């Protein structure tokens, strides 16, 4: 789905020629410079996925990207706003706000809501734009986590290609929209960390992960209950080496206490925010760890 159309270049008095345009697939290897400068965890593969399945706008000086903002549509009801970035030397000029409004205008033109995970600084920007707080998450990190034993036995096994339909259905009921493309993409990114939980032949949870520039990003972790979520995370972390990031929902105190025992500590908070009425968008109580701020 392609949202938005080509816009004219942004007027500027800069001596550098600037071109504001929609992002293209061949931009991904260049855009990684923006997210890397910001200290974010994305790889070229992340940028490529977002461009292939969403829409975005960038501002360029010659062949150098200096700003970006993106949309990842999830059905007709809402779209994820992500990758709002401005290179350090160009901040404070209104560039990021301009590109953000490109995204919000494209979403509003479809009659959809906008959703995002905001940092504390970002939250102050989004509140005046009509975003409202939904609930909190915390970016946790650990170097070589050592997961303790789960509190109770749960049937967990590796995710197979034949599980895709059932996992997508479970995720849709939890998230409120179909994320088949994202789930299939993440399943390929880190095969050693993809697991499902089952009870009486029914999927009761799943976990996925992806390689990042700085660390493995574990998530989503979705489950019917806390014990199942812990069992899934424990299985996925057993095969994880090095640094791990995880964006945990604050509401699950038992899950987060178990992560602390595994060696995770807080890095920074996020607030899930949305425009419009989010009633009936699934069951967020079954989300224990998000896929990441750019994916939801």
pLDDT band (50, 70, 90) for residue 240? confident
Mean pLDDT of 85-106: 94
Fold held by 18-111: Aminopeptidase (3.40.630)
Q: Token pair for residue 229?
A: 């979520």
Instruction: Lowest mean pLDDT of 3-7, 157-161, 242-246, 274-278, name the range.
Output: 3-7
258 contacts 247 by C-beta, under 8 angstroms = no
Give residue 32's pLDDT band: very low, low, confident or very high (50, 70, 90). Answer: very high
Q: 139 - beta bridge partners?
A: 247, 268
Looking at 34-38, 104-108, 118-122, 239-243, which range is the least confident one? 239-243
Q: Which CATH class is domain 137-290?
A: alpha beta
> Which residues 6+ apart lie within 8 Å of 101 measured at CB?
none
Contact call for residues 100 and 118 (beta carbons, < 8 A): no
Place of tokens 């993809």: 194
Tens digits of per-residue pLDDT, 195-210? 999 999 999 999 999 9
**What pLDDT is recorded for position 54?**
97
**Is 78:113 a contact under the CB 8 Å cutoff?**
yes
pLDDT(245) > 90: yes
- CB-based contacts of 94, cutoff 8 Å, min separation 6: none
**Closest alpha carbon to 67 in 105, 109, 101, 41:** 101
pLDDT band at 192 (very low <50, low <70, confident <90, very high): very high
pLDDT (mean) for 61-90: 95
Categorize the per-residue pLDDT at 279 as very low, low, confident or very high, splitting at 50, 70 and 90. Answer: confident
Buried b (16+ CB within 10 A) or exposed e, 188-199: ebbeebbbbbbe
Q: What is the predicted pLDDT for the residue at 276?
A: 82
Has residue 7 got a pLDDT over 60?
A: no
Is 137-290 the same fold as 18-111? yes
Structural domain boundaries in the chain: 18-111, 137-290
Residue with tokens 């004219």: 8
Q: 264-290: b or e for each residue (b if 16 or more CB lie within 10 Å)?
A: beeeebbbbbbbbebeebeebebbbbb
* Confidence at residue 17, expressed as pLDDT on a 0 to 100 scale: 59
pLDDT at res. 1: 40
Query: Is it the case that residue 12 has pLDDT exceeding 90?
Result: no
- Assigned token pair, 121: 């600084």
Contacts of 49 (CB under 8 A, 6+ apart): 182, 185
pLDDT at 58: 97
Task: Kindly report, residue by residue over 131-182, the tens digit of the pLDDT.
Answer: 999 999 999 999 999 999 999 999 999 999 999 999 999 999 999 999 999 9
Percentage, residues of the chain above pLDDT 90: 89
d(CA 106, CA 35): 23
Residue 263: left (phi > 0), alpha (psi -120 to 50), or beta?
Answer: left
Q: How far apart are CA 36 and CA 76, in angstroms?
A: 31
Q: What are phi and psi of 48, to 5 degrees?
A: -60, -40
Task: Using the predicted structure, report yes or no on whether residue 66 has a pLDDT greater than 70.
Answer: yes
Does residue 252 surpass a pLDDT of 90? Answer: yes
How far apart are alpha carbons 141 and 54 in whole angstroms? 28
Asked if residues 258 and 140 have their Cβ atoms less than 8 Å apart, the reply is no
């Amino acid at each position: 789905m392609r949202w938005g159309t080509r816009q004219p270049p942004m007027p500027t008095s800069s001596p550098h020629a600037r071109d504001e345009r929609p992002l293209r697939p061949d931009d991904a290897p260049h855009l990684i410079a923006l997210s890397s400068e910001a200290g974010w965890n994305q790889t070229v593969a992340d940028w490529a996925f977002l461009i292939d399945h969403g829409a975005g706008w960038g501002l360029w000086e010659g062949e150098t990207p200096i700003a970006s903002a993106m949309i990842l549509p999830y059905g007709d009801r809402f779209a994820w706003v992500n990758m709002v970035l401005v290179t350090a030397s160009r901040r404070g000029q209104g560039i990021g706000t301009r590109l953000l409004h490109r995204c919000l205008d494209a979403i509003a033109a479809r009659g959809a809501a906008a959703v995002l995970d905001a940092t504390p600084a970002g939250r102050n920007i989004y509140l005046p734009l009509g975003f409202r707080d939904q609930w909190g998450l915390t970016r946790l990190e650990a170097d070589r986590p050592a997961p303790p034993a789960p509190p109770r036995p749960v049937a967990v096994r590796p995710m197979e290609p034949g599980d895709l339909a059932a996992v997508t259905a479970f995720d849709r009921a939890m998230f409120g929209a179909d994320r088949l493309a994202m789930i299939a993409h993440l399943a390929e990114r880190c095969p050693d960390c993809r697991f499902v939980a089952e009870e009486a032949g029914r999927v009761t949870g799943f976990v996925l992960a992806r390689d990042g520039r700085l660390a493995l990003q574990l998530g989503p972790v979705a489950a019917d209950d806390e014990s199942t979520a812990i069992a899934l995370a424990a299985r996925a972390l057993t095969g994880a080496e090095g640094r791990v990031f995880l964006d945990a929902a604050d509401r699950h105190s038992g899950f987060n206490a178990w992560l602390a025992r595994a060696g995770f500590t807080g890095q920074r908070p996020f607030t899930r925010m949305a425009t419009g009425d989010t009633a009936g968008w699934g069951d967020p109580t079954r989300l224990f760890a998000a896929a990441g701020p750019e994916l939801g």
